[in-house]
Structure 1
Amino acid sequence: MLGGIFNKGQKIKGTVVLMPKNVLDFNAITSIGSGGVTGAVTGVLGGVTSVAGNLVDTATAFLSRNVSLQLISATQTDANGKGKVGKETYLESHLPTLPTLGARQDAFSIFFEYDASFGIPGAFYIKNFKTDEFYLVSVTLEDIPNHGTIHFVCNSWIYNFRSYQKNRIFFVNDTYLPSATPAPLLKYREEELETLRGDGTGKRKDYDRIYDYDVYNDLGDPDGGNPRPILGGSSIYPYPRRVRTGRERTRTDPNSEKPGEMYVPRDENFGHLKSSDFLTYGIKSLSQNVLPLFKSVIFDLNFTPNEFDSFDEVRGLYEGGIKLPTNVLSQISPLPVLKEIFRTDGENVLQFPPPHVIKVSKSAWMTDEEFAREMVAGVNPGVIRCLQEFPPLSTLDPTLYGDQTSTITKENLEINMGGVTVEQALGSQRLFILDYQDAFIPYLTRINSLPNAKAYATRTILFLKEDGSLKPLAIELSKPHPDGDNLGAVSKVVLPASEGVDSTIWLLAKAHVIVNDSGYHQLMSHWLNTHAVMEPFAIATNRHLSVLHPIYKLLYPHYRDTININGLARQSLINAGGIIEQSFLPGKYSIEMSSAVYKNWVFTDQALPADLIKRGLAVADPSAPHGLRLVIEDYPYAVDGLEIWDAIKTWVEEYVSLYYPTDASVQQDTELQAFWKDAVEKGHGDLKDKPWWPKMQTLEELIQSCSIIIWTASALHAAVNFGQYPYGGYILNRPTLSRRFIPEPGTKEYDEMVKSPQKAYLRTITPKYQTLVDLSVIEILSRHASDEVYLGQRDTPNWTNHTKALEAFKRFGNKLAEIEGKINARNNDSSLKNRFGPVQLPYTLLHRSSEEGLTFKGIPNSISI
C-alpha cells in the first residue's frame, strides 16, 4: 500500500520506456492504395532502413523538452481535494543499454524534484510536444523513501498534447475497488473513465481513445448498389454492438455508414511489435490487391480453368503449386507475409503448405469414421447433440415453413445398427445428430437463387459404437417446397454405401453436410459466438472499469486485439462482397443468417458445462470428474475443454475472492455494476430483457460471468479457429460451397457421376478461384504470431503488485502445463479412437502453448486473429 513521506531535498529517479512510431506502425501497413502492394512495401522497407540507421537521432528526438511528466500524489491533496500535481519535468538522457529493454524499445532517465509535503506518487500526467505519436511502455520510479519502487504499466500511444481535451494520465500498478481508492486519486479515476466513454457524438479520429457502441450499419454499400441489412437495434435483426466510428452516412440510406477505414480506439490497434500485423493486414492486401489478380488470371486471361479436374490437381496446390504469370508474382512476392503464406518457392508458382489432414494419408478424409470424428474433434466440435426424440423435430414456425419434421425412418437407421433398435439406442444415449435444418431452411430459397449456389439443409444421424467412435447412419437432404416455403420441405434420405454409384452419392451427401457445417462454423461458431459477442464486453470494460479495478486487470488481457481484428473483418471479411461472401455458401446472406442465430444466443450457456448439458452430451454427476458424466467418453473437445474450463474457473475464483469477501461487496461496487449494466443493456441491448442474464448480485455470478468471458476469448476461440487450415486447407475435406444438387437418374450429370465420380464431386464443391480465396485467408487465420501471449501468461510480470494474486496466477499457469501433459498422454492412447482418427492427426487444439506459425495448437489469451 502507498505510505510514508519523502525527505526534503531529495529527487525521485525514474526510467521511462517507450517506442517511437516506427516501421511496423499500423498506418504504414494499411497505406496500400493506388500504389499497390509493391509501393506500400517499398515504403515500409524504406522505413526499416531509416529507423535502423538513425537510432541516435530517434532517441535524441525525445529529449530537449519534447516529453514531460508530472507526478500526482496518492496521499496528499490540493485545495480541490484532488491529489497534488508536481512540477513539470522532462526526459533527461537516453539509456540505450538497459538490459530489460524489449526489441525496438528506448529507455530514458528522468528526475523529479519533491519535498515531504508531496507524499507518495500514485499517478502521473504525460505530455508529448512532438508532432509524431509514440508508444509509452512503462514508467518506473526508484528508491522512494519508506516505499521503494513504483511501477506504472502503460502500453499506450501518446499523441501531441493538443490532441487531447484532458491531460493523459497513468495510474500506479496498484489495485483498488472504487470504495478503497486513495481519496486523492478518486476524482482522477472518475475523470479518466469519463474521457474513455466520450459523449457519443462526432466522427472518431485516429488518436481517439473513446469506447462507444453502434450497430452493424457499415457492412453494405447502399450508394454502390450493394446494401446489407443493418444488424442490431431491431427485433428483426438483433446483434451484438461494435465500436462506434461516427462516419458519414450514405446518401441512399441515412441509417448506414459509408464504407471506409475503421475507427479503433488507438490503444486497441496492434502493437508495433506484433508480427501478426503483417498477418492480419495480409488479409487486407489479399482482399484489395491479390485476389483481384487471381480472378483476372482465372477468368479474364483464361490462364487456367476455374475447375479442378481431379483430386490429384487439388493436391497439386501443395505439392507442385499453380503456375502464375510473372505480373501476379511480382505483386505478391515483395510483401513478406504473402510470400511466407503462399510459399512462392519457384519462379511463377503459387504453392500452399500441406494441410495437416493429408500429411499422413491422402484419402483417409473420405472415410465415414473421419467424417464423424471431425464432429467431436474437428474445427467445429460444438454443434453435434444427443438425439432426444425420433424422428427429429424442428423449431421453425410451421405457418411460415410448414412441417419440417425429419423424414428419416427407423428402418433407414436400424439397417446399420448391428441389431440395436432406435428405441434402445435413444434410451442408452447412443444416437446423435448434426442438425442444420432450422439454420438453413429460412434462407435456402434465397441462397439457391444466387449464381452457382445449389444447397440443401442437412440432418446427419450418427450411432455411438462400442469402441467409442461414431458411425454415420443416414443423411437427410432437404430443400424448400418449390411452390412455397410454407409448404414444408422436400427431402431425400441418403444411406451409407461403399461401392458403385451409391458410394458416390453418399460421398456427395457428406459434402453437402460439410458445406452446411463450414458455413455455420465460420459465421456462427467462429464469428458470432466468439468475435462478435466479445466486443461489447471489451467496450464496456474500458468504459466503466478503471485500470485500477481488479476485474479490469483480470479481463483486459482477454480483449487484446479483438476490437481491431473485428474492425478489419468488417472491412475485408464479412462486408458486402468480402471474402466470406465470396467463398462460403450463404453469400450475401451470410451475416444476416448469424443474426437469426443470435436470437437464441444465451450468455450463461457459453460456459462449457452448460453447453454440454444443453446439447445432451453430458449429465450432471457429482461423482464424475468436473461434476459431469460425458455421454461420449472419447469426446476430445469436451474432455480437454472441461479441464481448461475448470482451471479458468478456479483461477477466477481465487483471484476474485481476494477482493470480494461477500455478495454485498459485489453489489456495492459501483464500477462493476455500471460495467455489467452497460454490457447487457447497451452492448447486448437487443437481448437485454432475457431472464437468463446474471444479475451481478453475488460472488458466484461474478465468478461465472468472468469465467465465461475468459473461456470464450481464449479456449473456445482457439478450438474453432486454429484448426481451420489444418482441416479446411484441403478443400475436398471441408468444401465451403455447393453448386449442384445430387444428380437424378436419366440426366447427363448423373451419367457423368457414374463415369467420373471425382469430376462429379469437384463440379459440386468449391471451384478453383473460391478455393484460392478460402485457403489464402484461413491460412492467415490459423497462424500464431511470434509475440502471442497464451493462456496463463501475461505480457508483463508487473501486471499487479498483489502477491497473492501473482501466486494464484502462477498456480493457474502450472495447472495449464499439467493439462498439456494429460492431452499428450491421451493422444498417445490407442484405445481413444477419436483423438487420432484415420487421418492420424492428434487433437491438440486445446494444448495451451504453441510455437509461432501454423501449429494446430495453442490457446492465446484473446481473439487476436
Structure 2
Amino acid sequence: MKGKELERKKHEVLSMKVPIKVIKFELKFEVTRDFGIPGAFVVENRDKKHEFFLKSVTLHYIKHPDLEERKFHFYCRSWVYPITKTGFKRIFFSDQLYLPKETPKGLVELRKKELLKLQAPRLKGEWNPWDRIYDYDVYNDLRDPEKGRSYDRPVLGDSTKFPYPRRLKTSHLNCQHVDHSRESGPARCFQFYVPPDERMSNEKLQELKNNFVEALIRFLAPESTPPHLWDQECPDFVTKVAHFFVPKAAISKKDVRFIRSIIDFCRKLKLPSSHGGPNRSDPSEEQDIFEDIIGFYADKEVEELDDSDKQRLEKLVPKEILDQVVATLALKRQHVSAQLPSIIAEEKFAAFAEEEFGRQMLAGTNPVRIRRLKEEDMEIFQERYPGIELKDLESLLKEPMEANRAFILDHNYFEQFLKMINGKGVCAYATRTILIADESSYETIIPVAIELSLPEDSDGGRSKFLVEANCSPVLWELAKFHVASNDAAYHQLVSHWLHTHAVVEPFIIATRRRLSVIHPIHRLLDPHFKDTLHINALARAIFLNAGGILETLLFTGEYSMELSSYLYKEWRFDKQALPEDLLERGMAKPRVRDEVVSGLMEHVERDKSSNKAATGAEQKKFEVDAEVELVLEDYPYAKDGIEIWTAIETWVTEYCNIFYHNDNDVKEDEEIQEWWNEIQTEGHADRKEGWYDINTFESLVKALTTLIWITSGLHAAVNFGQYGYGGWPPNRPMLLRKFLPKEEEMEGKHIMKFVEEMLPDKFQMKLAIAVMDLLSRHTSDEVYLGQTSPQKERPFIEDHESIIQKKFQEFRENLEAIERNINERNKEYLLMNRWGYAKIPYKLLYPDTSKSMRPTSKEKGKYHPEKTDINERGIPNSISI
C-alpha cells in the first residue's frame, strides 16, 4: 500500500469521532525477493495537527519460499507526532534483541541514530509535548521566589553542600525576576514536560485526580448530620462480638448499651505495665480526643467545605483538583465512607502497646531504619550520661547486647536542623530509641529508653535527657509520640521519596539515552520504569514544592528537602541491595558455607509439614537465601523481602545468561558501559562511592537486581502501608506542637488538653489522612511483579522466545511459592511480629501473582472504600504512585 492511501485511511479514522479503541490496519507492501528479514521500519506522520499512538506492527511474507510462515513483530507503543512538529521520522525496531556487537549490519547506524535523538542537544527555550528528549537537571524547580522569600529554597544537586540525584530536565523558562538561575514552574500543575512515552495514560491521570478528590471529600468535608459515635461503631461492634452469642438481628440498641457499660467498667481498671514498671492508666481516659479523631472515618453525609479549610487547601492543592471538590459537593450532599486504618480496625488502642510500637520498626511502613545496637552507641550514651544515671539501663542491656538482641532507632541527625525547625507551632526533638528483643516473648521488641535532644544552647534547661520505660507512664507515652514523629518524617523524605523515587530517576534517564530499545537490558528494565518520571514530576509540583503538602504536614517544614539532601550524603547504591542493607544495619549476619546446607535442610523440613506445595525450585531459591542469616527470624520485612530479592536475582541471572556468556561479553558491551558510566558521572554525579565495577557478569546481575528491587519490593514495602499505619495520626504524627510537659501539666485533668494541643491541628490531621489514603491506593492499570500486563506484554520472539518465556514462568512460580510461604507464616500465632497487637497480617511484600487482573472499586458517582485491604494488593513492577 502506498503512503497516500494509508494517509487517507488515517484521516477517515480521525474524522469518525469514535471512543478510543484499538484500530487494526491491514496493509500490503511489495519488496524484492531478496529483501531479507525486516529489522526496522520508519513512520512519517504527515497530518498537520494530530498525533497517533502506534501500538504494534506485525509483518509477514505472503509468498516467499523460505519465510512465508514467519512473522516479524514490532512492539511500538509510542506516540507518533506530525513531522511538521518533530522534524524527523520515527524509527521502530523489531522485537529481536541484540547486544551492540551482534547487531545486524543494516541496523547498526539506525541503532546509533535513534539513541542520538533521545540524548538531544542542549536546546534552549521550552520543550514541546512532542519532543522526545531525555536530559538531566538539578532540583531548581521546588521554590517560587517570586511569591516572596518564604518560598525560596536552595537548589539541590551539583553542590557539595546540597548534593542530590538529578531529575529529568523539563526546560521550563527560568524565573524572570529574583533569581534567573531557577526554573519557573508550569502555568498549571499538570502542564509540564514529560517525554511522550513516559506519560501515564489519560485514564490513569484522571483516576489519580479522582482518587485525590474523593480522599479530600472523604476526610475534609464536614458532616451535615453527625451521628453519635457509638451508633457509628455499633454495627461493627455487633459484628465482632455480639453475633457470636445471638443472631445479629436480635440485638437491640438497649442490649448494646448494656454490653458497652460492662466493657467501659472493665476498661477503667488499671492495666499492668508491660515492662514491669508502675501501672499505667487505661487508654479510656484518653477516649474523648481519640474518638473524636475516629469520627473522621465515620459513614456520613458531607456538605461544602469550611471556608477556613478551603482557604488553606487553595494554597496546597492544584486549582483543578479543588474546583472538582467544590463542584462535586455543590451538586448534592455526598454520602462518604472510609475504611478504618488497619492499626485501629481491630482495637483502637493497640498502637499504644509497647510490643506494637517495636513491631512497627520491623513490619510497619518504615522497617528500614532500625539497626543493631553497637558498643560505639553505648560509648556515646556513657559520655552524655555519666554515673548513676545510666547504670540501670546498662545493666538491662548487658545480656541483650551480648546476644545481638539490642537495637536502636537513631534519628539524632535531626539535631542540627532543630534551631531552624522549631518555632512557628512546631516543637521537635531529635530522638534515639533503644529497644530489646526477648526470646521468651517470641522476638517481640520493646522500647526501653528514649533519648530526646535539643540544640546545645536551647532555652529551658538540659539539651539532652534520657526517658526510661519505668518512668511516669504519661511522660513515656509522650516521648514515644516524638519518636514516631521523627520516624514519620524520615520515612516520607528518605525511605520513601529519596531512596526510591529520587534515586531511580537518573537510572531511567540513562537507560533511555544509552540503551537501545533492542538491547536486552533495556527490555528487562522497561516494565520497572512505568510512569515513574511522570509521577515524580507530579510529586515535585504538589508535594515537595515550597509551601506544598509535605512542608505543611511534616515538622521539618521548609527544611524538608534540604534534610533529604543532607541524608543523600550517606546514600550508596550498593547498600540498597537488600542483603547488604541488612548486613550494614546488623540485622543479619553472613552465614558460613557449611551452615548453608544445614540451614536449608532445616527450612525444607519445616516447610514440608506446613506447606506441601514446596517445590524443587523453591529449595534452590532458599539455598541462595541462606547466605545471610537474620538476627531476628521474625522480621517480616526482611524475611519476606529476602525471598522476593532472591526470586528477582534468580530471574535476572537466568535472563542475562541468555545474552552474556562470560565476563568479556559484559566488558565489551559498549552501551552497558556507557549507561553505567553516565549514571555515575551525570545522574548521581554527587555520589562517588558505592558503585559496582560492572566488568563482570556477577556485578551486572547484582546492579540490575538492586535496581529492580528498589522499584518493586522496596517501594511497595515503604509506600502501600501508609494509610494502614499513618492514616491514624496518633500512631505516626507528622508534627507535634508541644515539648514534653512540665510536672504540673501531667495531672489527669490537664493531660488530655495537653495531648490535644500537642497533636497536629484537625486540618493537618485530616489532610494527612487524605494524603495517606491517596498514596496507598493502586490504580486500575497497575502492572505487578511476575504478572502479565493488562495490555499483554510483548512476546519474546525468535531465537530467545522459548527460553525467556520458560525462565519468566519459573520466576512467576517462585513468586507463587513465596505467596504460600507468607500465608503460612501469617498463620503462625507464635510469630507475633507478623500480626502484633493490632492484628495486621504483614502483606506489604505479598506478590499476589496469581491474580493477573484486578477489578476496580470505582463506581460512577460513588465514594466508598476499597472492598479489600489496600495493604494486600501485590507488588507493582514500578514506582507509579
Distance verdict in 2 for CA 1:218–1:834, change over 3 Å: same
CA–CA separation in structure 2 for the residues paired with 1:159 and 1:431: 60
* Matching of residue 571 in structure 1 with residue 541 in structure 2: yes
Determine the structure 2 residue equivalent to 1:81. Answer: none
**Equivalence map 1:186-335=2 (5 Å):** 186-202=108-124, 203-225=126-148, 226-250=151-175, 251-260=177-186, 261-274=191-204, 277-282=205-210, 310-321=289-300, 323-325=302-304
- The residue matched to 2:29 in structure 1 has which SS? strand
CA–CA separation in structure 1 for the residues paired with 2:405 and 2:306: 57
1:66 deviates by: 3.5
* Matching of residue 454 in structure 1 with residue 427 in structure 2: yes
1:105 deviates by: 2.2
1:797 deviates by: 3.8
Determine the structure 1 residue equivalent to 2:275. Answer: none
1:348 deviates by: 5.5
- The residue matched to 1:64 in structure 2 has which SS? helix
Determine the structure 2 residue equivalent to 1:712. Answer: 710
* Matching of residue 525 in structure 1 with residue 495 in structure 2: yes
1:732 deviates by: 1.4
Determine the structure 2 residue equivalent to 1:649. Answer: 649
Match of 1:540 among 510, 518, 540: 510
Query: What one-letter code is carried by the residue in structure 1 that aligns with 2:705?
Result: S
1:411 deviates by: 6.5
Tell me if the contact between 2:343 and 2:351 (Cα under 8 Å) persists in the aligned partners.
yes
Q: Which 10-residue stretch deviates more, 152-161 or 168-177?
A: 152-161
CA–CA separation in structure 2 for the residues paired with 1:255 and 1:484: 39
Determine the structure 2 residue equivalent to 1:761. Answer: 755
Residues 458-490 of structure 1: CA distance to partner in whole angstroms, max 9, x if unpaired?
1110111122110110111111123699xx981
TM-score of the pair, normalised by structure 2: 0.79
Distance verdict in 2 for CA 1:475–1:350, change over 3 Å: farther
Match of 2:870 among 833, 850, 855: 855
CA–CA separation in structure 2 for the residues paired with 1:610 and 1:783: 30
**Equivalence map 1:11-50=2 (5 Å):** none
1:290 deviates by: 7.9
- The residue matched to 2:454 in structure 1 has which SS? strand
Determine the structure 2 residue equivalent to 1:156. Answer: 78
Distance verdict in 2 for CA 1:391–1:798, change over 3 Å: closer
Determine the structure 1 residue equivalent to 2:475. Answer: 505
Determine the structure 1 residue equivalent to 2:35. Answer: 118
Query: What one-letter code is carried by the residue in structure 1 that aligns with 2:52?
Result: F
1:353 deviates by: 2.6
**Equivalence map 1:668-707=2 (5 Å):** 668-687=668-687, 689-690=688-689, 692-707=690-705
- The residue matched to 1:841 in structure 2 has which SS? coil
**Equivalence map 1:11-90=2 (5 Å):** 64-66=8-10
Tell me if the contact between 1:93 and 1:110 (Cα under 8 Å) persists in the aligned partners.
no
CA–CA separation in structure 1 for the residues paired with 2:419 and 2:5: 63
CA–CA separation in structure 2 for the residues paired with 1:596 and 1:61: 60
Determine the structure 2 residue equivalent to 1:555. Answer: 525
Query: Superposition RMSD on alpha carbons, in Å?
Result: 3.6
CA–CA separation in structure 1 for the residues paired with 2:332 and 2:816: 41
Distance verdict in 2 for CA 1:337–1:609, change over 3 Å: farther
1:150 deviates by: 1.3
Match of 1:792 among 786, 794, 800: 786
Q: Which has the higher strand share?
A: 1
Tell me if the contact between 2:409 and 2:433 (Cα under 8 Å) persists in the aligned partners.
yes
Would you say how many aligned residue pairs link Structure 1 and Structure 2? 743
Determine the structure 1 residue equivalent to 2:814. Answer: 815
Determine the structure 1 residue equivalent to 2:447. Answer: 472
**Equivalence map 1:580-619=2 (5 Å):** 580-619=550-589
Distance verdict in 2 for CA 1:568–1:132, change over 3 Å: same
1:665 deviates by: 0.8
Query: What one-letter code is carried by the residue in structure 2 that aligns with 1:64?
Result: R
Tell me if the contact between 2:219 and 2:766 (Cα under 8 Å) persists in the aligned partners.
no
Determine the structure 2 residue equivalent to 1:107. Answer: 24
Residues 540-581 of structure 1: CA distance to partner in whole angstroms, max 9, x if unpaired?
000000000001011111111110000000100100011100
Distance verdict in 2 for CA 1:195–1:660, change over 3 Å: same
1:249 deviates by: 1.3
Residues 683-716 of structure 1: CA distance to partner in whole angstroms, max 9, x if unpaired?
00111x32x3112111111000000100000000
Determine the structure 1 residue equivalent to 2:731. Answer: 733
1:154 deviates by: 1.1
Distance verdict in 2 for CA 1:521–1:409, change over 3 Å: farther
Determine the structure 2 residue equivalent to 1:837. Answer: 836
Tell me if the contact between 1:151 and 1:172 (Cα under 8 Å) persists in the aligned partners.
yes
- The residue matched to 1:694 in structure 2 has which SS? coil
* Matching of residue 427 in structure 1 with residue 422 in structure 2: no
TM-score of the pair, normalised by structure 1: 0.80
Tell me if the contact between 1:291 and 1:773 (Cα under 8 Å) persists in the aligned partners.
no
- The residue matched to 1:352 in structure 2 has which SS? coil
Distance verdict in 2 for CA 1:509–1:126, change over 3 Å: same
Give structure 2 stretches of 5+ with no counterpart: 225-285, 600-621, 857-865
Distance verdict in 2 for CA 1:232–1:794, change over 3 Å: farther
Tell me if the contact between 2:362 and 2:636 (Cα under 8 Å) persists in the aligned partners.
yes
Tell me if the contact between 1:534 and 1:709 (Cα under 8 Å) persists in the aligned partners.
yes
CA–CA separation in structure 2 for the residues paired with 1:861 and 1:715: 8
The percent of aligned pairs where both chains have the same amino acid is: 40
1:308 deviates by: 12
Query: What one-letter code is carried by the residue in structure 1 that aligns with 2:794?
Result: N
CA–CA separation in structure 1 for the residues paired with 2:174 and 2:549: 24
**Equivalence map 1:610-649=2 (5 Å):** 610-621=580-591, 622=593, 623=596, 624=599, 626=625, 627-649=627-649
Distance verdict in 2 for CA 1:285–1:839, change over 3 Å: closer
Tell me if the contact between 2:219 and 2:767 (Cα under 8 Å) persists in the aligned partners.
no
Query: What one-letter code is carried by the residue in structure 1 that aligns with 2:727?
Result: G
Query: What one-letter code is carried by the residue in structure 1 that aligns with 2:400?
Result: A
Query: What one-letter code is carried by the residue in structure 2 that aligns with 1:267?
Result: D
Distance verdict in 2 for CA 1:470–1:284, change over 3 Å: closer
1:112 deviates by: 1.7
Distance verdict in 2 for CA 1:108–1:806, change over 3 Å: same
1:165 deviates by: 2.6
Query: What one-letter code is carried by the residue in structure 1 that aligns with 2:206?
Result: F
- The residue matched to 2:375 in structure 1 has which SS? coil
Tell me if the contact between 2:120 and 2:135 (Cα under 8 Å) persists in the aligned partners.
yes
Distance verdict in 2 for CA 1:154–1:220, change over 3 Å: same
1:63 deviates by: 6.0
Query: What one-letter code is carried by the residue in structure 1 that aligns with 2:786?
Result: G
Residues 470-522 of structure 1: CA distance to partner in whole angstroms, max 9, x if unpaired?
0110111111123699xx98112222259xxx222211111110000000000
Determine the structure 2 residue equivalent to 1:370. Answer: 356
Determine the structure 1 residue equivalent to 2:104. Answer: 182
CA–CA separation in structure 2 for the residues paired with 1:509 and 1:322: 37
1:391 deviates by: 4.5
Tell me if the contact between 1:248 and 1:258 (Cα under 8 Å) persists in the aligned partners.
yes
Query: What one-letter code is carried by the residue in structure 2 that aligns with 1:772?
Result: K
Q: Which 10-residue stretch deviates more, 105-114 or 772-781?
A: 105-114
Distance verdict in 2 for CA 1:327–1:491, change over 3 Å: closer
